[in-house]
Structures are given as structure tokens and as C-alpha cells.
Amino acid sequence: MKTNKKAILFCTCSGACPSMTKIDFWALAERVRLEFEGKIEFMALHPRLCEPDGERFMSNILKEGIVYITPACKENKQQKLLRDGFEKASIPMDADHWLPISMALEDTDAVFQKIKAAVEGVIGERQTGKE
């Protein structure tokens, strides 16, 4: 089911991941909150979505009818590492439900621009699809 609704779910990889040392997660979260107020359903940060507590978190909050944008490690790594969380939430990891974003080796602004493109892309694509 295609939807315009979006949510952003960060995995900050413990906050100490060597590939994310250039990211100020709190500044990024605040910027996302300010920029996308009213455009997304919610935003959340979790330090480790790939661990059992992160997977329980996903199983509790993910639901049908929302595209989940996940800024985290590289997209192909997310495919493996977030698999169990999506599975426990019974949400398929397909383009109608999931849009991964790699934060690996990026800085705060670069990640923000990727998120912005993703949010606007989802809006644009869905609106185009409706017309």
C-alpha cells in the first residue's frame, strides 16, 4: 500500500561508531524536527536498532501505512542488520515501507541533505503517483 506518511528512524550505532564520528546526532535530530514539522509522522533516535532491545522497539512502533526512512549504516548493511526488527514488526522491507539512508562517513549536513531529499522524494513520488 503506497502512502504519503513518513517517519524517520535513526540508528546511531551506539553513538561511538567509527564511521559516524563526523555527525552531531543531537544537532541533526533538532534540525530534522524543525525542518520537517508537519511533514513527517514522527522522528526517533535509537542507539542500536540491530540489538534485541532495538528490535523490540521497532516491533512496538512500526505499523502499516508509513514509509520508514532509516538513517543508519550503509544501505546494504541495513538490509541485514534491520531485518529482524522489520520482521518482528511484520513490515516488509520494500520500497513502499522502507527507505534506507547511509550515514557512514558522512557529516551532519550531508546526512541532513540526504534525509531532506528522501522526505521530499517520498512526497513527490507519491503525489505524482496519485495524479
Residues lying near another protein in the complex (CB under 8 A) are found at: 13-19, 21, 48, 50-51, 73-74, 76-77, 80-81, 104
**DSSP codes joined into one string, the chain:** ---S-EEEEEE-GGGT-GGGTT--HHHHHHHHHHHHTTTSSEEEEES-TTSHHHHHHHHHH--TT-EEEEEES-HHHHHHHTHHHHHHHT---STTTEEEEE-TT--HHHHHHHHHHHHHHHHHHHHHHH-
Closer residue to another protein (CB): 17 or 123? 17
Nearer Cβ to another protein, position 81 or 122?
A: 81
Nearer to another protein, 79 or 127 (CB): 79
